[in-house]
Amino acid sequence: MRIPFPQLATHLKQGLPPVVMLCGDEPYQLGEAASQVRQAARALGFAEREILEVDGHFDWSLLTVAAQSLSLFSSLKLIELRLASGKIGREGGEAVRRYCAQPRPENRLLILAPNLEYQELHAKWIQVVEHAGVLLQVKPLEGQRLVEWIGQRLRERGLKPGPEVAAMLAERVEGNLLAAAQEVEKLVLIHGAGPLTAEQLGRAISDSSRYDLFDVPDAALAGDRARMHRILDGLAAEGTAEPLVLWVLAREVRLLTRAAFAARSGPRALEAFLSAERVWQNRQGPMKSALRRLPPARLRALLGHCARADRQIKGLEPGEAWLTLAVIGDTLAGGEGALPPS
């Protein structure tokens, strides 16, 4: 069975299926869905959780071993299968199909596949998973759906948003639900429950933190390396989630890369691109300055560092993600960082 995210909570109240698979490219909803499944498992007595991290060298016999081995602490066990890549291959597909053919009643299987390729959704092993349990695919929220999600989140936390509040927050976070959720939590702490106007939202955002996540790319574009590092250090000290910092930096790198491509056709083409991307007038000057100091080769290297930071955050590559994020920000601001010279 395939269900949408909003139906998951209701579905879990009816019982926890033998197999639950979560996939899609919206990490916040994926995380929330996984938390709901784990909570439902604990409520039903599945006290032990065994995690299997699947990479290119994974031994698929471990899934069979996990299913057959007795729990040391509980008679019921949740097996969590985390897929790192977009495909699991023939051997992986066969292993999952064997498990789903005869799921053991003392186990539940949770498959997490955030990077699953679209073609894989039509593979035979996916059909077996759907027959044995449920598959949930999360998708990014855009436009009015994002505005409605933020409005609901605000109301759930005791706030009563005015007509433009949810739309203002949606424009600020640009589809990043983790950023939206953190903004809502900050509003609860600063403003408290009750009515919230657009004017109050604006004041709360500007006063909410000494270190603002969105100031990182602004300082980098302005070429202010010292300020960029101060903000980044402050965000790290405040415990800001690494994926959020990567998101604002990677978004800027991608935008600059596309802008550099447009600029190859001349100043008018660049102006048209910036207008189409709704880049505010006060940011167009700093962005043009950044384009002059960041040739295409350096932007490509920055994209590579963004991918590296992502792998480090996910534990797929050794190294300190905050250091890689600092290199990205420093290079955007005009530093040499650890990148090759242009």
DSSP string over 22-38 = EEES-HHHHHHHHHHHH
Amino acid at 104: R
Does the residue 179 lie in any domain? yes
Average pLDDT taken over every residue of the chain: 87
Q: Domain limits at 173?
A: 143-207
pLDDT at 208: 47
**Based on the structure, what is the number of domains in the chain?**
3
Q: Do residue 122 and residue 169 come from a single domain?
A: no
Q: How confident is the model at residue 91 (pLDDT cuts 50, 70, 90)?
A: very high
CATH number reported for the structural domain that contains residue 187 in this entry: 1.10.8.60
d(CA 113, CA 83): 5
Q: 324: pLDDT confidence band, cut at 50, 70 and 90?
A: very high
In this structure, is residue 201 part of a structural domain?
A: yes
Asked if residue 189 is part of any domain, the answer here is yes
Long-range CB pairs of 183-190, under 8 A, 24+ apart, other chains included:
184/150, 184/153, 184/154, 184/157, 184/159, 185/157, 187/154, 187/157, 187/159, 188/157, 188/158, 188/159
In a domain? residue 339: no
pLDDT of residue 73: 63
Same domain, 36 and 155: no
Distance CA 113, CA 81 (A): 9
Boundary (domain end) residue, out of 105, 138, 171 = 138
Q: Is residue 165 part of a domain?
A: yes
pTM, full prediction: 0.63
Least confident of 47-51, 64-68, 185-189: 185-189
pLDDT at 190: 74
Same domain as 155, residue 195: yes
Q: Are 241 and 255 in contact (CB under 8 A)?
A: no
Asked which of 207, 240, 256 is the last residue of a domain, the reply is: 207
Confirm whether 341 is domain-assigned: no
Q: Residue 63: which of 88, 34, 35, 39 has the closest Cα?
A: 88
Per-residue pLDDT of 99-153, as tens digits, reads 999 899 999 999 999 888 888 888 999 999 999 999 999 988 888 989 999 999 9
86 within domain boundaries: yes
Looking at the fold, whether 276 and 320 belong to one and the same domain comes out as yes
- CB 301 within 8 Å of CB 340: yes
